Amino acid sequence: MTARTALPSWPDASPQGRPAACRRAQLVSQQYLSPALPSVSAHAFPKAARLTKTDEFSSVFALRPRRRSPHFVLYVRANDRPEGRLGVVVGKKFAPRAAERNLVKRMARELFRQRREHLAGRDVLLRLQARFPRAEFATRAAVRQACLAEITSLLEIAARPLPPPPAANPAPPAPPSQAPGLPA
């Protein structure tokens, strides 16, 4: 049986055996967790603000689109909740690279989060409907700029007052009037 030998320690190791870089990282992380800084939850996108279930998406998709932009379709529906909810649909057909799909979803969530108080009581669904052509959008910054402009304008439209819902029980039709000269 061989005897174990101690591994050489880092040149700037502390008495606890951790390198100085680890100690600095620990101090920095503790500094960011201090109560003096705003909590992360102040900027969070909670689950209550998301459309998550298939039937929630289906009920919004069943409506006529509220507005279209060159790359997106906006659907808006009134909900009975105090907060607004967002759903984003980005298919592989229109954004084949995962990085591009994630960029679009991340930007939509952040722009919605910033306008959440204006979108209270609504279900908002954004769907990517067209590709970002490589010839026109060669860089990620160009795609980001286009997403920013289009999603911002669509969310401003979503914040406008919704049209009244159609009447559930329409009034019965009036009886046809008698034309003169016809028997009753």
Q: Is 13 exposed, middle or buried (0-12, 13-18, 19+ CB in 10 A)?
A: middle
* Separation of alpha carbons 115 and 121, rounded Å: 13
The whole-number pLDDT of residue 80 equals: 87
- Can you give the pLDDT at residue 64? 85
Q: Is the pLDDT of residue 60 over 90?
A: no
Per-residue pLDDT of 63-91, as tens digits, reads: 888 899 999 999 999 888 888 999 999 99
Two tokens, residue 20: 């100085």
Instruction: Return the CATH number of 47-158, one of 3.40.50.280, 3.30.230.10, 3.40.50.11290, 3.40.50.150.
Output: 3.30.230.10
- Lowest-confidence pick of 13-27, 40-54, 92-106, 158-172: 13-27
Render pLDDT for 99-116 as a digit per residue (tens, 0 to 9): 999 999 999 999 999 998
